[in-house]
Structure 1
């Protein structure tokens, strides 16, 4: 495994278990100021447990889309990679400071601007839909087969069989050479 993964760290318009609802554009200023390199990847929000780096963070129509890479030189990251690959771990959670929020009906709070500090891989995300995408093993297998076909030497026709009882191969006339 190479430690790469993608997913959504936050979904727009979906209340989390703490009754916060993230508004589209809430991450824009923070992402512009820090970029992916300025946001830490942690395990369970523990600052003593950095486990990799974010390759890209961007808002799309659904939420905060992430692509990350676990640092497989770190023991915890190797463990997390194994758990991700087998489907035992798939939660993501954001660590942030609220910049601007508005109260909403039903006791909800609309987060309009967020200062994003870190995104953690977690066992139980506060926003239940914030998940790492399941690895697409089918396309990986197809990619590997295609690569093997490209790397394989060209196939040569099999020589005629000399087994007893085999039928001789059709004999075609040799192409004639013409010189002008």
Structure 2
């Protein structure tokens, strides 16, 4: 994966159902408004974060983010992604391959119970009002969704760089605002003095 790609995982119930002979895996790869503690900051995904990327991206479904273990693909019709009120819903028609059969059995037994997604942040918002930084992801470019053995929150180093940049921008804005206030106060003082000395 390239340097700016991140992964997030969610423990939500995964199900396998038989649909006209096909075995379909269903679950949520992402959930909106669920604050996640990533250690150095907390994060949530805003509703609508996937709306643009779902219209244009040919997303793959993988097992454990492994590109050699393809389970489905949007353009093939074997992966269907929908953004609803809860989050990013995924339906994967599992292939009749070793990986597909393994995933089906692992989910059926409860050994695999989480999903994850690989993405790049296009728009986010940081809130530094509390001691801990809080990030809201507003728009992403989605690359893949995965059924995962160990749901984890990877990619925090990229998010930390984003946080540090947001902090620098905020400090710059605060500095510029303070400089502008000082300049306005100085200009106002000069005007008052000038009027006082001229008697106007």
- TM-score range for the pair, normalised by the shorter chain length: 0.5 to 0.7
TM-score, L = length of structure 2? 0.57
Q: Distance in 1 between matches of 2:127 and 2:152?
A: 19
| Equivalent in the alignment of 1:30 | 53
TM-score, L = length of structure 1? 0.63
Q: By how many angstroms is 1:17 displaced?
A: 4.5
| Equivalent in the alignment of 1:122 | 148
CA contact 2:51–2:83 (8 Å) conserved in 1: yes
Aligned partner of residue 25 in structure 1, secondary structure: coil
Q: Residues 29-63 of structure 1, C-alpha deviation per residue, up to 9 Å, x if partnerless?
A: 000112xxx11111111222212345321111111
Give the structure with higher Rg (CA).
1
CA contact 2:60–2:79 (8 Å) conserved in 1: no
Q: Residues 107-151 of structure 1, C-alpha deviation per residue, up to 9 Å, x if partnerless?
A: 221100000000011012237xxxxxxxxxxxxxxxxxxxxxxxx
Given the alignment, which residue of 115, 123, 133 partners 1:92? 115
Q: Which runs of 5+ in 2 are unaligned?
A: 1-17, 154-200
Given the alignment, which residue of 39, 43, 46 partners 2:63? 43
Q: Which runs of 5+ in 1 are unaligned?
A: 128-180
Aligned partner of residue 31 in structure 1, secondary structure: helix
Write 1 or 2 for the structure with the bigger share of strand.
Answer: 2
Question: Across the two proteins, how many residue pairs are aligned to each other?
Answer: 123
| Equivalent in the alignment of 2:158 | none
CA RMSD of aligned residues (A): 1.8
Write 1 or 2 for the structure with the bigger share of helix.
Answer: 2
| Equivalent in the alignment of 1:14 | 34
